[in-house]
Chains A and B, each alone.
Chain A
Amino acid sequence: MAFTSKVRLLRILSSLFMNQCRHRGMRLCRADAGNSKAFVCSYHGWAYDIAGKLVDVPFEDRAYGKVDKEQWSPIKVPCLDTYKGLIFGCWDEQVPPLEEHLGGMKWYMDLMFDRVEGGTEAVGGVHKWVIDCNWKFAAEQFCSDMYHAPFSHISPVIAAMPPGADPSQAAWPMEGRQFSDPNGHGTGFFLNAPGFLQALLGEEVATYYEETSRPEAIARLGEIRGAQMDGSHMTVFPSLSFLPAINTLRAWHPRGPNQIEVWALTIVDKKAPASVKDAYRKAVLRTFSAGGILEQDDGENWTEIQKILRGHKARQTLFNAQMGIDNDRHDDPDLPGKTNYVYSEMAARGFYGRWQEMMMAESWADLSCGGVSDDSIKGEADNA
């Protein structure tokens, strides 16, 4: 669907409603996709139009007299906004505007969503799978954890080396920075690590990225984002993550404290040729999906952590999150906001700090914009 303007898009989105009947709470639509003129509840037959308005109640006259159709329509998502083609919704009417929530993260998100004229689109279809872990492991990893990549994900790198090569020579880039936003977002990236994408996603994707996308990105975004940043990971607080350049996007849907349902999409530049889009589609499913040769190992790690945490003693263990604790900087000449070395846990501290603060706050007004300071976390670490 082509949207002529943000205003029009928001008008269409204004009909987004909870998939739940207002009579006894039955799931109204049980298909993943399809065409329908109305949603008729399978339980007692209350019928809603596609904009989510209750339009028919069986036996209304005799059984009810009158049902107020406005009042008994499904609940709507009260806060909706978009950023560069991404749609954000929130059930809480008091939530600060999206603009404010994204804050300093937008500058980094543009690395993926504003590289070239025309923006991005999603490849059709969604990878959905279930991991028995808490949603925060997944969100934290994409927010802050470049550190796991050279170890968790070394096997595909070794496998891709030429025959006879020495596996101990499989090297990961060592130069890069991490960013932490006061609202809990985070990202990390290598600087000047060419060849990274080709090794992961193959020649066709890499050639498009280097020869078509990169020059335009330099012109639009400038030298540091366009020419130098590579291999980013990224989380928009709380549960939306991306890998720019690799172009996977995923929402980590919590399914209780011990389970998530991952919904992952592949993102491509709208104007990229069809063959490049297809090369991206294949490359992403082979690397970052349930069966992807990089992502498989994350599922193993997260489920095992979660299983151990069921133990009474195990869940009281204090974990080490001190990496880079004294190295926060606010004066990087090229990078806005608070930054640190690429292999650090600053953004994880920011993520968990923000989460903790939200759990403790009574209201939005109570929430400082800025999360928990590193100093208070450091205090706890010192005491331990």
Chain B
Amino acid sequence: MLKLIPSRAASAQEPTSPELQQEIEQFLYREAMMLDNREFDDWYALLADDIHYYMPTRYTRGKREMDKELSLLDEAALFDEDKASIGLRLRRLTTGMAWAEEPPSRTRHMISNVQIHTTDVDGEYEIECCFMVYRNRLERQTDIFVGARRDILRRSDNAEGWMLARRLMVLDQSTLLSNNLSVFF
């Protein structure tokens, strides 16, 4: 599915090591844990200034038109964010009056199928993975979001060793089955 979103993977892939695989997976797990622990300031600090955080909408299409399954860049998207707009979303949560997340949802981010691709930029890797985000809130509202991600991770001298420079997400739903989309992926 992520075929449809332009990839930055280098045409000639360099070999990667089990150590790198381990390091990147550990970073992705810590990052997911920050969201589940609602450590949003820490999570925000991992975002590069030039981040593009993007989730297109999806169409149900016939087999002959599988290349048109995702909305185009100039069409409706679920997220199309830069660092400032993500910051606004996070500041909103701190007001105590963001009712969709007040009381806050319980979320659990599960990350799997992590594949590393080298890119032509030094210190940048393109990571493909799958996610499952479970959200439960209030008495019994439950939503499950499943999809795939294509991230660009950039080496950094921050405490985690990495910054998130791009996050492209594809959700495996065409009609969104939840009453809102107030969680991050």
Nearest-neighbor residue (CB-CB) of A298 within chain B: B180
B residues at A contact (CB < 8 Å): 57, 59-62, 64-65, 68, 71-72, 74-81, 85, 88-89, 91-95, 97-101, 138, 141, 174-182
A-B contact count (CB 8 A): 140
Given contacts A291-B78, A304-B138, contact A296 B178 (CB under 8 A): no
Smallest beta-carbon distance A185→chain B, Å:
26
Asked if B76 and A290 sit within 8 Å, CB to CB, the answer is: no
Nearest-neighbor residue (CB-CB) of B79 within chain A: A291
- Give complex CA distance A123, B182 in Å: 23
Asked if B178 and A289 sit within 8 Å, CB to CB, the answer is: no
Partner of A281, one of B64, B74, B99, B179: B74
Q: Which residues of A from 34 to 58 have beta carbons under 8 Å from B? A: 34-36
Asked if B91 and A159 sit within 8 Å, CB to CB, the answer is: yes
Residues of A within 8 Å of B182, CB to CB, are 291, 296
Given contacts A123-B74, A159-B91, A293-B88, contact A34 B61 (CB under 8 A): yes
Residues of A within 8 Å of B91, CB to CB, are 159
Interface SS of chain B: helix, strand, loop or mixed?
loop
Knowing that A154-B97, A293-B88, A293-B89 touch, tell me 20 more A-B residue pairs with CB under 8 angstroms.
Answer: A32-B61, A34-B61, A35-B65, A125-B75, A127-B176, A128-B176, A130-B178, A152-B99, A155-B97, A159-B94, A160-B88, A266-B76, A282-B80, A285-B79, A285-B80, A286-B85, A290-B180, A290-B181, A296-B181, A297-B98
Asked if A123 and B99 sit within 8 Å, CB to CB, the answer is: no
Asked if A127 and B85 sit within 8 Å, CB to CB, the answer is: no
Given contacts A290-B180, A290-B181, contact A126 B88 (CB under 8 A): no
20 residue pairs from A and B, CB less than 8 Å apart: A30-B60, A31-B60, A33-B59, A33-B61, A34-B62, A123-B74, A124-B74, A125-B57, A128-B57, A129-B180, A130-B176, A131-B179, A155-B92, A155-B93, A155-B97, A281-B74, A281-B76, A285-B79, A289-B76, A290-B179
Nearest-neighbor residue (CB-CB) of B141 within chain A: A303
